Amino acid sequence: MRRFYKLALASVLLLATMIGSGSRLAAQQPFVLSKHSDFSTDDRAFSRADTLYILVTRPDIDYTNLKEMDFELKPRSGGNKIRGQFANNMDGTYTAWVDLSTTDASEVYWTLRIEIQDHSENKLDVRVPVTITQDGSAPAPDQQKKRVNVHGIISAVQGDSIQVKGMWIMVTDSTVIQRGNMSKSFSDLHAGLLVEVHAWTAADGSIIADRIQINEKMGGNDNEVEVKGFISSIGNDSLVVEGITFWVDSTTQVVGREEESKDFADLQVGDFVQVKAMLRDDGLLWATRIKMEDGEGFESEYEIEGPIEALSDTSITVAGVTFLVDDQTMVMNHDKGAIGFSALQVGDLVEVKGTFRDDGNLWAVKIKLEESEEAEIEVKGAIESVGEGSIVVAGMTFAIDSTTVIFGEHHTPADASMLQPGVFVEVKAFRQADGSLLAVRIKIEDEFKSKIEVKGAIQDLTASTITVFNTTFDVDSTTLILDHQKNPLTLADLQVGMIVEVKGVVRDGANPLAERIKVEEHEANEVEVNAAIDSLDTDAGMVYAGGQAFLVDDHTIIEDAQKQPLSFGDLSVGQMVEIKARRQPDGSLLALRIKVEDNQNPAVKLEVKGDIAAINGDTLVVEQTVFLTDANTMFLDRNNNAITLADFSVGEFVEVQAETQVDGIWLAKKVKKEDPVSMQG
C-alpha cells in the first residue's frame, strides 16, 4: 500500500500585519505566540498587562471546511480556563488574542492548547507551556535549566521527599498535589502509589517537584493502578508501558479495541494500551487487564507524516518541524519491529508522534518507518515560482521533463507554458535516488478552494454581511436565504444568535460571497446537575436531585464513573450523580445520561444553559431556576472577557455554573454568554 505525503492545500499568504520578522517566524514553525500584534517576537513568558497574540500557519488544513478552530489557556494546577475561537484568515493562517489581565494572579505556569481541524481529519493539536507573572519575568534560571518528568511508583517517603524510580524528589509548600481534580497533601503520599511528577533541577542538583499527580484509584484500592501509553518493550511474561514494567500470567485478561478477546502474543511494541494492575507485596506490578486502544486519549500532542528532511544525533526534521529524540523515543519499522534511530535516513517516509515538554521543546515519542517503495509524494497548492524545467509548490521544488503529464481542470491537455506563479496545481511526484523530486503528473486546478461552508451561531449582521464562525460573508440579491423548513427568508429576518449553515464562494481581495444561508433548528434547553439524589420514584421512572425532577426512559444512559452500565435499580438516595438532561416542550426534564460519581462528596453543583427569563437586582432566572450572584461571581462574554451583570439582558442565552448554599439558595459561580447549541436539521 502506498502512502502519500500531502502538504499545503494552499499557499501561505500571511496577513499584511504579519510581514517582516513576524512572517519569518511563522515560516519556521506552525504557530507563534507573541506579546506583539505583528508577531515580531515568539514569546513564552508574559505579564498580566500583556495581550497574548496567537498566529497559526497550517496550509495543509482546509480552511474552507473546518470542523473546529479553538484554543484553551489553563493553569497547570487545574484552575479556571480561558477558551476561545480563532479567526479564520482564509489563507491557511488563523489568529486569536487573549487579554491576560483576566487570568488568575496566583497562577504562574499555564498550558495553551490549540486545536484546529478540518472535516478530512487534517489537524493541529498542540499544548504549549507558557508563564504569566506580574512583571513578565521568566521563572528563575535554575528552574529553566532542566525539567524532570517522571512517572512511576513511590518506593519510599522520607522527611519532605519521595523516591520514584531511584530519584529523590523534594516536595515543598508550593508543590501542587492532586488526585483527579481534588487537592491532596504530602501526608497523602506513601510507598506504592503510582504518581506522575513534574519537577525541576536546582543549582545544587536537588530535584524539586512543581506538581504531583496521583494515579486514580481503581475500586477504592491504593494497590490497584491504571496506566495508558505506548508499549516500549515486550518480554515473554512482561511488558513496559510509560517506563513501568508490568508482569503478566495466565490470569491476565487481554482485549482488543472492541473488547474482543486477545492473546498476549497479539501485543506489539508501539501499540497503545490501557493497563490495569495490582501492586503486590514484593513490589512488582501484575497486570490484571490489558486493553488495546487507538491512543487518542494520550497526549500525543503533535503528529505528522512525511519524508525525513534532516537528521542529527538528537533530532529529526519532518515537514519543516524538528523533534528532539532521546533513548526513550521508540523507533520502529513498518512492521512495528524495533530498530535503532541510526537506521533512519534522510528521505525515508516516517510517521512521528510527539509531545511538547515543559521546556517548550517538541520531543518525539514514537517514530514509525512507513512503506514508501517509490517515495510517492502528492502536493496541492499555488505555484510559488517557475524555473528552467522546474516549479516550486509549498516550498518544494519539482523537476519537469518530457515524461511529466500536464492537464487542466477537466483533463484537457495543457503544457508547461500554463504553469505560472499563482496558478493552483496538484502535483504527483516521485523522489529520486539523489533526493530530488520528479513530477510525473501536474493537474491545473483553476477553481481550487473556491467553495466554503460553515455552520454556527450568527455573530454579527449588517445590511449586506453576515458573520458566522468568525468568518464574514457578503450577502447580495443572489444569496438564497431559507428557514429550517426551506421556506424563503430575507436578511432582515435573521438575528444574532441564530444557528445557520452558510455556503459561499471564496473571492480574491474580498469577503466570501454567501450563495445560501439556511437557518438550522436548535435546542437551547440543556441542563447539567452535579448533586446527591434526593429521592427516587421507581414506578414513575423519576430521579430527584439538586432541586430538579428528571424523567428516566429507555434511552437514558446510566453508568458508573468507569462508564460501566448500570440500571435504574442501581441508583440510591444520597448517591452523588452527574445528570445531563434536556427540557421537553411540556417543561419536564428528560435525563439523557446519569453518571454515578466515584467521589461521593455532598457538595451540590448545578450547570444550566438557557435563555435569561428575568434579572432582578443581584439575581437572575434561567431555566425556571433563580440564581443569586455576589462579588465572587465571574461574568464572561463569549470571548471569555470579564464583564458585569449589567452587561446581560433578558432573552440572552447563557451558561450558569452554581453551587447550593447552606440555606438552599443557588449561588452562581460563573455566568457566561454563549451561542445556542446547534442540532442537525
Superfamily of domain 5-133: Macroglobulin (MG2) domain (2.60.40.1930)
CB 522 within 8 A of CB 679: yes
Q: Binning pLDDT at 50, 70 and 90, where does residue 17 land?
A: very low
Q: Give the confidence band of 481 by pLDDT, cuts at 50, 70, 90.
A: very high
CB atoms within 10 A of CB 160: 12
d(CA 403, CA 84) in angstroms, rounded, equals 50
Q: How far apart are CA 284 and CA 278, in angstroms?
A: 8
Q: How far is CA 461 from CA 35, 458, 520, 647, 673, in A?
A: 31, 7, 17, 20, 18
Average pLDDT, the chain: 78
The secondary element (H helix, E strand) that includes residue 23 is helix 21-28
Eight-state DSSP code of residue 423: -
What's the pLDDT score for residue 52? 93
Apex 350 CA angle, 348 and 355, nearest 5? 140
In this predicted structure, what is the pLDDT of residue 53?
93
Taking the C-alpha atoms of residue 254 and residue 379, their distance in angstroms, rounded to an integer, is 41
- Model confidence at 24, pLDDT cuts 50, 70, 90, reads very low
Q: 319: phi > 0 → left, psi -120 to 50 → alpha, else beta; which?
A: left
Count H helices, E strands: the chain?
2, 54
Question: What is the mean predicted confidence (pLDDT) over 428-448?
Answer: 75
| 91-109 pLDDT tens trace | 788 999 898 988 887 788 7
CATH 3.30.750.24 holds for 376-444: no
What stretches of 194-242 show up as alpha helix (H) in DSSP? none
Q: What is the pLDDT of residues 314-335, one digit of tens each?
A: 899 876 678 889 877 888 877 7
| Report field, pTM of the whole predicted structure over 0.75 | no
Residue 524 pLDDT > 70, yes or no? no
Let me know if 479 is exposed, middle or buried by CB neighbors in 10 A (0-12, 13-18, 19+).
buried
Query: What pLDDT is recorded for position 433?
Result: 65
Cell numbers 521533463: residue: 401
What confidence score (pLDDT) does residue 543 get? Answer: 93
Cα-based distances in Å from 183 to 33, 78, 186: 31, 10, 10
In DSSP terms, 316 is beta-bridged to 311, 323
The CATH classification number of 451-519 equals: 2.40.50.320
Flag whether pLDDT at 208 surpasses 70.
yes
Decide if 225 contacts 267 (C-beta within 8 A). no
Instruction: Give yes or no for a contact between 457 and 498, defined as CB atoms under 8 angstroms apart.
Output: yes
Query: Which residues neighbour 253 within 8 Å (Cβ) at sequence distance 6 or greater?
Result: 288, 289, 290
Please state, in angstroms and as integers, the Cα–Cα distance from residue 394 to each residue in 28, 347, 382, 414, following that order.
Answer: 13, 17, 7, 22
Percent of residues in the chain assigned helix, strand, coil, to nearest 5: 5, 50, 45
526-673 is a CATH 2.60.40.1660 domain: no
pLDDT tens track for 601-639: 445 677 788 888 888 888 888 877 888 898 888 888 887
- CATH for 224-293, options being 2.40.50.320, 2.40.160.40, 2.40.170.20, 3.40.50.720: 2.40.50.320
Of the pLDDT bands very low, low, confident and very high (cuts 50, 70, 90), residue 12 is very low
What pLDDT is attached to residue 236? 86
Distances (CA, A) of 534 to 553, 572, 577: 19, 9, 11
Average pLDDT over residues 42-70: 86
For residue 218, the tally of other CB atoms under 10 A from its CB is 18
Q: Which residue has the higher pLDDT, 225 or 238?
A: 238
pLDDT higher than 90, residue 301: no
Q: Which amino acid is at 457?
A: A
Question: Which residues are CB-contacts of 619 (< 8 A; sequence separation ≥ 6)?
Answer: 626, 627, 628, 629
Residue range 547-561, pLDDT digits in tens: 778 999 888 889 887
Three-class HEC string of 334-346:
CCCCECCHHHCCC
Spatial distance between the Cα atoms of 79 and 181, rounded to a whole number of angstroms: 9
CA distances from 387 to 392, 397, 424, 557 (A): 8, 9, 16, 63
Q: 412 burial class (0-12, 13-18, 19+ CB within 10 angstroms)?
A: exposed
Please count the residues of the chain: 681
Q: Which helix (H) or strand (E) holds 243?
A: none
In what side-by-side order are the strands of the sheet with 51-57?
A: 31-34, 51-57, 93-99, 87-88
Q: What is the pLDDT of residue 209?
A: 86
Q: Do domains 302-369 and 376-444 have the same CATH topology?
A: yes
Average pLDDT over residues 518-544: 78
Q: How far is CA 79 from the centre of its chain?
A: 18
CATH of domain 302-369: 2.40.50.140
| Domains in the chain: boundaries | 5-133, 141-214, 224-293, 302-369, 376-444, 451-519, 526-673
Q: Residue 447 — pLDDT band, cuts 50, 70, 90? A: very low
Distance between CA atoms of residues 486 and 462, nearest Å: 22
pLDDT at 451: 67
The answer to whether 526 and 609 are in contact (CB under 8 A) is yes
* HEC profile of 289-341: EEEEECCCCCCCCEEEEEEEEEECCCEEEECCEEEECCCCCEEECCCCCECCH
Residue 674 pLDDT > 80: yes
Per-residue pLDDT at 58: 82
Are 8 and 59 contacting, i.e. CB atoms less than 8 angstroms apart? Answer: yes
Label the pairing between strands 589-596 and 557-559: parallel
Residue 434 pLDDT level (bands cut at 50, 70, 90): confident
CATH number of 141-214: 2.40.50.320
pLDDT in tens, 230-279: 787 788 889 887 667 889 998 999 998 888 888 898 888 778 888 888 87
Residue 392 Cα distances to 213, 385, 399, 425, angstroms: 49, 5, 9, 11
DSSP 371: P
Q: What does the alpha-carbon distance between residue 9 and residue 657 come to, in Å, rounded to a whole number?
A: 41
Q: Are 387 and 398 in contact (CB under 8 A)?
A: no
- Reported as a pLDDT band with limits 50, 70 and 90, residue 476 is very high
Confidence grade of residue 390 (pLDDT, cut at 50, 70, 90): very high
Rounded percentage of the chain residues whose pLDDT exceeds 90: 9
> 118: which 3 cell numbers?
478540518
The predicted structure's pLDDT at residue 54: 93
Q: What percent of the chain has pLDDT over 70?
A: 82
